[in-house]
Amino acid sequence: MPRLPSLHLVPHLTRPPWGGDRLAALGKGQGVIGESWEVWRENRVRGDARPFGAIADFPLLVKLLDTQALLSVQVHPGDVEARQRVGAPHGKAEAWVVLHATPGARIAYGLARPLTAQQLRERAESGEIEADLAWLYPRAGDVIEVPPGTIHAIGPGLLLYEVQQPIDLTWRLYDWGRGRELHLDHACAVARRDPLPSPFRKPLRIAPGIERLVESPHFVVERVTLPAVRHGWEALTVIEGAGEVEGEALAVGATVVLPPGPTTVSGVGVALVSRPGTSSA
């Protein structure tokens, strides 16, 4: 069989009330954009009428997020809980790489003190949960892994690269009084209710120009200095400088899916590369 070319997908954009203007500045669209789903099985392949999922089974969702207001306090289930509680095919583990953080930008990550399931529900209903959240203050370059069951809320002033299991499965505990639907039964049942250890991951240098940022059963994320030769299947997003693959220029924010086999990505810059882990669902 002839080797597949590199695939350029048309991102799926979301426009929640917390979005900002940084993704528009990266050429993703116009106006307020909260998320650009860079790699998703439903994304159309540029120059091909088929969705990406008709060409390859790539069990990841890769996003860029721009936050200008607080996201909800939420939790995601693991594989077992997702199947048992709502019949979903799998849960949602995720990880973030911080691309930009304004001074004082913060992320709620877990609780500051232990709570029972009943206490968690009552304090979510009353709004007192605001006082129970543990906050992180990330900087550009930080890597944060978010296992299922982690109570979290992303604050304003952040541009994030996110990789996750490919499902939109979020259970809200609290929404800062905005009135959107909460999912207290599910969220309280799966949430980790004790304070959590630091989630920051230290990069591991595995070869010249390659740092392993996250390695989990679901996905592997690396930071790669360009030029580089990659071997797919994997999603590559330029975050500094510029790249080029098969004659196609890649500016900052551009994503390309690299097929199996060696692919040369030229240029001078830095890219984040995500690929499925050993047991991706």
> What DSSP string describes 34-88?
SEEEEE-TTSBBTT-SSBGGGT-----EEEEEEESSPPPEEE---HHHHHHHH--
Residue 213: strand, helix, or coil: strand
Mean pLDDT value across residues 20-27: 97
Domains in the chain and their CATH numbers? Answer: 12-190 (2.60.120.10), 204-276 (2.60.120.10)
Q: Which of 123, 172, 223, 230 is catalytic?
A: 172
Alpha carbon distance 255, 268 (integer Å): 16
Query: Given this model, what pLDDT does residue 49 score?
Result: 87
Residue 270: strand, helix, or coil: strand
172 catalytic? Reply is: yes
The kind and range of the H/E element at 126 are helix 117-126
Higher per-residue confidence, 280 vs 48: 48
Residue 14 CA, distance from chain mean position: 14
Query: Given this model, what pLDDT does residue 281 score?
Result: 45
Query: Given this model, what pLDDT does residue 4 score?
Result: 83
Query: Given this model, what pLDDT does residue 278 score?
Result: 85
Answer yes or no: is pLDDT of 280 > 60: no
Alpha carbon distance 230, 257 (integer Å): 11
pLDDT tens digit sequence for 53-107:
999 999 999 999 999 999 999 999 999 999 999 999 999 999 999 999 999 999 9
Q: How many CB atoms lie within 10 A of CB 281?
A: 18
Mean pLDDT value across residues 228-246: 96
Answer yes or no: is pLDDT of 44 > 90: yes
pLDDT tens digit sequence for 111-168:
999 999 999 999 999 999 999 999 999 999 999 999 999 999 999 999 999 999 999 9
